[in-house]
Structure 1
């Protein structure tokens, strides 16, 4: 018998940026390429939202509260955000087109297995150093 899960997964994730005008184009391209839908909140010029088909969403917000100019994934806190890519073809496309949209590939010499031989993924960081891992497969 299957028990009802205690939660349904991610509700939302909020990322802060020093400069929305710099980081938003990279995130918009990536999220819409992955099939997330962009939403605008009228009157909220310093934030953007992308919603997944399951209802969860990611927020990118420019905030006066940001410390420093770049994210530091090795500091306490979030190391990176891992998202799913539909298949290897999409992963390769994102890798190919990502630099033209503000993404800097990480661990390029080990693509697509920088996370191990049984793990197919692409790693990159946005213009402010927030790392994303795109995973295909289980």
Structure 2
């Protein structure tokens, strides 16, 4: 019996994201850390790719073939991925980790953590993709 990958009860919710990267192992080091901090679990691993899932949503990294152009989030196309965080403490922890890592950078330092008008971390990962972790209005 074939597995039905679609869930009609999740109309409009994100199913998965697939990112092509220039160096898989470097990308896995960053994305594995980022996604684990946000509740994702390793899903699949194969030659040239990895994935992590959080419930029915998953993110895939695939090593790109041959020469690749650098990602430019300011060009037409994807600008950033935003993730829910469970607490402000989680956002603060992620911020400190980003500051200490060599493969990412904090964005909008002078406005952090309210660069978007709400409590969040904005950073850039090793391939230049902007990521956001958004805290709830208050930690209950």
TM-score range, shorter chain: 0.7 to 0.9
The equivalent residue for 1:28 is 32
Deviations 1:73-105 (A, max 9, x none): 011110000011111000000000123342211
Q: Distance in 1 between matches of 2:136 and 2:66?
A: 37
CA contact (8 A) 1:15 1:60 kept: yes
Give 4+ residue runs of structure 1 displaced > 3 Å after superposition.
none
Q: Distance in 1 between matches of 2:97 and 2:67?
A: 29
Q: Distance in 2 between matches of 1:8 and 1:81?
A: 16
Q: Structure 1: 5+ residue runs without aligned partners?
A: none
The equivalent residue for 1:75 is 75
The equivalent residue for 1:14 is 18
Q: Distance in 2 between matches of 1:114 and 1:89?
A: 17
CA contact (8 A) 1:104 1:124 kept: yes
Q: Distance in 2 between matches of 1:63 and 1:105?
A: 26
Q: Which TM-score applies when normalising by structure 2?
A: 0.84
Q: Distance in 2 between matches of 1:47 and 1:66?
A: 17
SS in 2 for 1:40: strand
Q: Which TM-score applies when normalising by structure 1?
A: 0.85
Give the number of equivalent residue pairs: 129
Q: Distance in 1 between matches of 2:10 and 2:52?
A: 25
Residues 87-126 of structure 1 mapped to structure 2, 5 A cutoff? 87-101=87-101, 102-116=103-117, 119-126=118-125
Shift in CA distance, 100/47, structure 1 to aligned 2, threshold 3 Å: farther
